[in-house]
Amino acid sequence: MPQLSDFEGDWVLTRQIAHSDGNRARFEGVACFASEGVGLHYREAGDLILPTGQSFRAERSYFWRAEGGKIAVSFEDGRPFHSFDPLSPEAAHWCAPDDYRVHYEFGDWPNWRAIWRVQGPRKDYEMISHYAPA
């Protein structure tokens, strides 16, 4: 299983977003894990393509750090997001009224995936992100 330092570097990122109503969107871009302080600053940037074909530039940023045998992920402003054990890579985040659950897959390392299931009163989708070395 990967350790925090194994993520450092650039990754090709492709993402599928499947909504329960049948609509599908995708994201194509890059992700970079750069050493910063005691962890890694995660930045992704690319194009979000909606079911209509319309495209938007999209970016997201997090901070990953090792913490007690787990990897702790926080929002860019420092608020906790979730943490996971690479040996049992599942986590949840409650953002009232929405429930976010993630499962990471590292069995084909260095290719890996993050599978998010999001449910709430106005949200119901699965988001699968594929990462491959750049």
**What is the structure's pLDDT at 1?**
85
- Among residues 48, 14, 56, 19, the alpha carbon closest in space to that of 31 is found at 14
CB neighbours (10 Å) of residue 131?
22
Q: Are 17 and 125 in contact (CB under 8 A)?
A: yes
* pTM, to two decimals: 0.95
The pLDDT tens digits along the chain (134 residues) read 899 999 999 999 999 999 999 999 999 999 999 999 999 999 999 999 999 999 999 999 999 999 999 999 999 999 999 999 999 999 999 999 999 999 999 999 999 999 999 999 999 999 999 999 99
**pLDDT digits 0-9 by tens, 77-104:** 999 999 999 999 999 999 999 999 999 9
**What is the structure's pLDDT at 42?**
98
Token couple for 82: 């979730």
Q: What is the 3-state secondary structure (H, E, C) of 40-106?
A: EEEEEEEEEECCCCCEEEEEEEEEEEEECCEEEEEECCCCEEEEEECCECEEEEEECCEEEEEEEEC
Q: What is the Cα–Cα distance from 13 to 31, expressed in whole angstroms? A: 6
What domains appear along the chain, each with residue ranges and CATH number?
4-133 (2.40.128.20)
